[in-house]
Chain A
Amino acid sequence: MLSRRIIPCLDVRDGKVVKGVRFRDHVVMGEIVELALRYRDEGADELVFYDITASPEGRSVDRAWVERVARAIDIPFCVAGGIRSADEARAVLHAGADKISVNSPALERPELIDELADAFGVQCVVVGIDSLRDADGEWRVRQYTGDPSKTQALARRTLDWMIEAQQRGAGEIVLNCMGSDGVRRGYDLTQLSVARAICQVPLIASGGAGAPEHFRDAFVEADVDGALAASVFHAGTIAIPALKRYLHGQGIAMRLPDQETTA
């Protein structure tokens, strides 16, 4: 049985891992490779690295650290940040990333998703969606969320974009619910459940994890394939081995860390 995935997200800025609250006020959390190895040892199923300022600054992700991570770790990782073309994606994949995630550039030019899927296969192509509920009750997409001064609210409805992204070749969708991000009160189960119903590819929950129960709720109530979190892992509030044992005890399929001792 396929296990559900626990995915620490490492926001990268100037070669360091950072974290902000509600996407603002970033503080340095540590060195990239050091944190990557720590999470691998703790039983993380996958890592996501977001070069959070690449897209607002109009540049692609820095390949040097991608290669350093690829040499060091033996679990899958995904890289996001300003990938605007198949050539840029190829460079990141050849540096050793397993998947690439596109967000703002795919909103600028949705054909990018088709191009990436054609070139590398849908299994490499993750579409990240930053979503916020507007005053009229609709969830809509936000763009350039790495820099609050450049963040734009789009007219595009989140669910419409999810459907289009899948049709164009997204192999996985990370739905970042911005209303709950960074405040640790739980994933946005309402939005995730609605998204799950229209998402045929793996769906990853993002934004709001603060306690082990929040992960359980995302898996049990919203049926997501993976749950992504950052600050609770970086700050040590939640330890991944204990979290996975708890979820396993709740009847959720998990790859337990102590199963990593056979070699």
Chain B
Amino acid sequence: MAVVLVDAGGTNIGSVRYALQRLGTDAALTADATAIRAADKVILPGVGAAGPGMARLRELGLIELLRSLTQPVLGVCLGMQLLCAHSEEGDTACLGLIPATVRRFVETSDRRVPHMGWNRLRRQREHPLLAGLGEDDYAYFVHSYAVPLGEWSLASTDYGEAFSAAVAHGNFHGMQFHPERSAAVGARLLRNFLEL
């Protein structure tokens, strides 16, 4: 099985690649359209801001390619946000593959932003991506913007309000948390994606 990591410049690419290696999958790091189109699974990692993230995909000429993919695609953290229609971060038009708008967490006295640390995943609906997910499973999050709940939500997490922790819309999937840094729970969910 060919798995590719889209090299859009995010600093967590190495970590995602190592996580896949621990699962026995050697993913190629590439920005090559032909390699991405030919892959069985495509992962779009990402750390940083939405505007520069989209600009980088545009520079690489990958926007229309990513929109046209029919195999399972997984966006991680910013990668998941880039799959959405629009982000409040820099008022950025994103890929439009998941019909959601990414919104900033509003700071309150008991909600510090960024949302950084381990938080609980709650299943919103059954999906193979969440196979084996337990009631008390935690994942590691680091983000200031989030995808609201909607028809796309597979799992939610509560941080003052509930938001989408994992999403799916057709062949496009997303994890707001970092599966590569979420210990055994993250490894399980990454493996689920590889087995879709």
CA distance A26 to B12 in the complex (A): 33
CA distance A40 to B144 in the complex (A): 26
Q: Shortest Cβ distance from B163 into chain A, in angstroms?
A: 12
Known: A74-B22, A75-B181, A202-B116. A259 touches B140 (CB 8 A): no
A74–B180 touching, CB < 8 Å: yes
Is A226 located at the chain interface by the 8 A CB criterion? yes
Q: Which A residues touch B186, using CB under 8 A?
A: 74
A201–B181 touching, CB < 8 Å: no
Could you say which of B18, B133, B191 has the most chain A C-beta atoms within 10 Å of its C-beta?
B18
- Tell me the chain B residues, 1-42 only, with Cβ under 8 Å from chain A: 11-12, 14-15, 18-19, 21-22
User: Which chain B residue shows the least CB distance to A41?
Assistant: B183
- Tell me the chain A residues, 227-263 only, with Cβ under 8 Å from chain B: 255-256, 259-263
User: Which chain A residue shows the least CB distance to B191?
Assistant: A263
CA distance A31 to B50 in the complex (A): 39
Is B103 located at the chain interface by the 8 A CB criterion? no
A98–B48 touching, CB < 8 Å: no
A-B contacts, CB under 8 A, total: 115
- Tell me the chain A residues, 88-119 only, with Cβ under 8 Å from chain B: 90, 93-96, 98
Is A122 located at the chain interface by the 8 A CB criterion? yes
Chain A contact residues: helix, strand, loop or mixed: loop
- Tell me the chain A residues, 1-38 only, with Cβ under 8 Å from chain B: 1-5
Is A123 located at the chain interface by the 8 A CB criterion? yes
Is A161 located at the chain interface by the 8 A CB criterion? no
Q: Shortest Cβ distance from B87 into chain A, in angstroms?
A: 13
CA distance A74 to B138 in the complex (A): 13
- Tell me the chain B residues, 38-70 only, with Cβ under 8 Å from chain A: 47-49
Residues of chain B touching chain A, judged by Cβ–Cβ distance below 8 Å, are: 11-12, 14-15, 18-19, 21-22, 47-49, 107, 112-120, 132-134, 136-138, 140, 142-144, 158-159, 178, 180-188, 191
* 15 A/B residue pairs, CB under 8 Å, sorted by A: A2-B118, A3-B118, A4-B117, A70-B15, A74-B180, A74-B184, A98-B15, A98-B178, A121-B47, A123-B114, A200-B113, A202-B116, A260-B185, A262-B137, A262-B184
Q: A124-B47, A259-B137, A262-B133 are in contact. List 6 more A-B contacts (CB 8 A).
A: A5-B117, A45-B118, A75-B181, A95-B14, A200-B107, A201-B113
